Amino acid sequence: MFKKSQFIIFLVLILILFAFSIQGQKKTIVKYWLWLDDPTDPMFPDLVKQFNSLNPDIQVEYELIPLSQYYDKLVNAVGAGVAPDCARFKDWWLGAFVDANALEPLDSYLKNWNGYKDVVSNLWNTGKISAKSPVYMMPHQFITFYLYYRRDWFKEKNLPPPTDLSKFLEAAKKLTDPSKNRYGFGLRGGSGGQDQWLAFLVAQGARLVDRNGKVIADSPEAILANQWYIDLYRVHKVAPPSAPTDAYAQVLGAFQAGITAMMAHHVGSSVLVTQKLGEENVGVVPMPPSDPKKPATMVTMSGNVILSGSKNKEAAFKFISWLTEKEQMDKWSRSRQGQLPVLKSVASLPYYRNNIFFKVSLDQAKYAISWPPLPGVGYISAQLWQSLMQRALLGEITSKEMMEEIANALRKK
């Protein structure tokens, strides 16, 4: 029989050995890549800390990459076999990555995920490349493009909010005064400007593909719509001289600094512009169409994918599905990165129902149009569009030449 002192020593040794065994267990490392519109926002690092504390057997390590570099870096990482386990993703990259067998189908994981039915049902389609394909991207945050305008500037000039493109152009002209460094519209010709551009094209009735999926980006209608957009800078001169190279930071900064009267973006900028200018001075309207009876704008989804080369797919899914649960999604949507939540339970909260920026965004969702899920879209968005638009704005190529290049890239398999 053990003496009492021996028993205590034995128990202490067992506890020590147990502690060492726990410490010796290897954590599953999940590598995650993402971009953030505002990389100084502490929201995401806080979420990662929370997840890691709740899941001691998993360690999420993330890498923050500027959106302008993101697509190319992810493509190169896949080719070199050093891709992350999971990553934030754009719907218009799906075609290229699925074509390269780089993404893991998620259907087998989703069937056991409790939040599946809470996702707005039609948003699952943004993670597919066709109606019958598997889900490759888990929806997370989506946006529809609308128009911010300086309510105080419009009031000074006795101008109504622009409800169609003719009123938009009229207001942009009247609010432009280069001698005061004031311009009607912040045109984004630099990195990431393809979404703003597409919103204006579809608002004029132009389309990149028809209902059957045939590429029509070089149609007369598309060429004319693109010319209208180019003319904002070249002919009407309602955009700042820096427009050909302006990216998001410059367009946002000009609007906040009182240089531009209007800016096309989404709900993700609402916190930043109202904090800087005051809610009373910032208005928002749906994307002005050519024909008010045929409204249209651009929609895009930022979701999460698992890379097919990952050796930690189960843990990766646990993380990206956790990000899509109610509490985490609400926190993300209310942050400086805030976009539209994909969960019905979150979208129905008073914060979103009573917020004009979210309301306009959600109202547009029923007629918004996305990039077609073709392999060439990733190349267009990451490289081609910016080069072509800058050359068109500088008069080096015509609208027809630009749209023919885009159409050719869409047609490539």
Judged by average pLDDT, the poorest of 182-191, 315-324, 339-348, 389-398 is 339-348
* Residues 246 and 329 placed together within one structural domain of the fold: no
Question: Could you list the residue range(s) of the whole structural domain that residue 245 is in?
Answer: 146-297+375-411
* Residues 315 and 208 placed together within one structural domain of the fold: no
* Residues 263 and 386 placed together within one structural domain of the fold: yes
CATH code of residue 138: 3.40.190.10
Amino acid at 107: D
Is the separation of the CB atoms in 291 and 205 below 8 Å? yes
| Three-class SS state of 258 | coil
285 φ, ψ to 5°?
-135, 155
Angle formed by the axes of helices 194-203 and 385-393, nearest 10°: 70
Q: How far apart are CA 249 and CA 246, in angstroms?
A: 8
Q: Is residue 13 part of a domain?
A: no
Q: How far apart are CA 319 and CA 327, in angstroms?
A: 14
* Residues 185 and 282 placed together within one structural domain of the fold: yes
For the chain, the average pLDDT equals: 92
In degrees to the nearest 10, what's the CA dihedral of 65, 70, 74, 80? -80
Dump pLDDT digits (tens) for 198-246.
999 999 999 999 988 899 999 999 999 999 999 999 999 999 999 999 9
Q: Is residue 8 part of a domain?
A: no
* Six-digit token string for 169: 């152009």
Percent pLDDT > 90 in the chain is 77
Segment 256-274 shows an average pLDDT of 94
Amino acid at 257: A
* Residues 67 and 119 placed together within one structural domain of the fold: yes
* Six-digit token string for 141: 């945050």
* Residues 254 and 383 placed together within one structural domain of the fold: yes
Segment 364-387 shows an average pLDDT of 88
Dump pLDDT digits (tens) for 51-97.
999 999 999 999 999 998 999 999 999 999 999 999 999 998 998 89
Q: State yes or no: pLDDT of 175 exceeds 90.
A: yes
**CA-only gyration radius of the chain, Å:** 24
Amino acid at 114: N
* Residues 171 and 252 placed together within one structural domain of the fold: yes
* Six-digit token string for 320: 């990206």
Q: Name the DSSP class of 190.
A: S
Amino acid at 40: T
**How many residues does the structure list for the chain?**
413
> In this predicted structure, what is the pLDDT of residue 22?
46
* Residues 277 and 338 placed together within one structural domain of the fold: no
* Residues 287 and 308 placed together within one structural domain of the fold: no
- Quickly state the pLDDT bin for 396 (edges 50, 70, 90): very high
Please, what is the end-to-end C-alpha distance for the chain in angstroms? Answer: 78
* Residues 243 and 383 placed together within one structural domain of the fold: yes
Q: Is residue 1 part of a domain?
A: no
* Six-digit token string for 26: 């290897």
| 47, 152, 174, 263, 295 from 157: Cα distances, Å | 45, 9, 8, 18, 26
Cα 35 versus chain centre, distance: 9
Q: How far apart are CA 92 and CA 87, in angstroms?
A: 14
Dump pLDDT digits (tens) for 161-173.
999 999 999 999 9
Written in H, E and C, the secondary structure of 344-393 is HHHHCCHHHHCCHHHHHHHHHCCCCECCCCCCHHHHHHHHHHHHHHHHHH
Encode burial over 273-303: b for 16+ CB neighbours within 10 A, e otherwise. bbeebeeebbbbbbbbbbeeeebbbbbbbbb
Segment 29-44 shows an average pLDDT of 94
Q: State yes or no: pLDDT of 40 exceeds 80.
A: yes
Q: Which residues pair with 88 in a beta bridge?
A: 304
Q: Is residue 260 part of a domain?
A: yes
Q: How far apart are CA 291 and CA 121, in angstroms?
A: 29
Q: Is residue 16 part of a domain?
A: no
Q: Is residue 331 part of a domain?
A: yes
Q: Is residue 22 part of a domain?
A: no
* Six-digit token string for 63: 């890498």
Tell me the whole-structure pTM to 2 decimals.
0.75
Q: Is residue 133 part of a domain?
A: yes
* Residues 186 and 335 placed together within one structural domain of the fold: no
Nearest Cα to 36, choosing from 208, 224, 249? 249
> Which run of H or E residues covers position 144?
strand 138-144
> In this predicted structure, what is the pLDDT of residue 18?
52
Domain count, the chain: 2
* Residues 105 and 159 placed together within one structural domain of the fold: no
Dump pLDDT digits (tens) for 284-334.
999 999 999 999 999 889 999 999 999 999 999 999 999 999 999 999 998
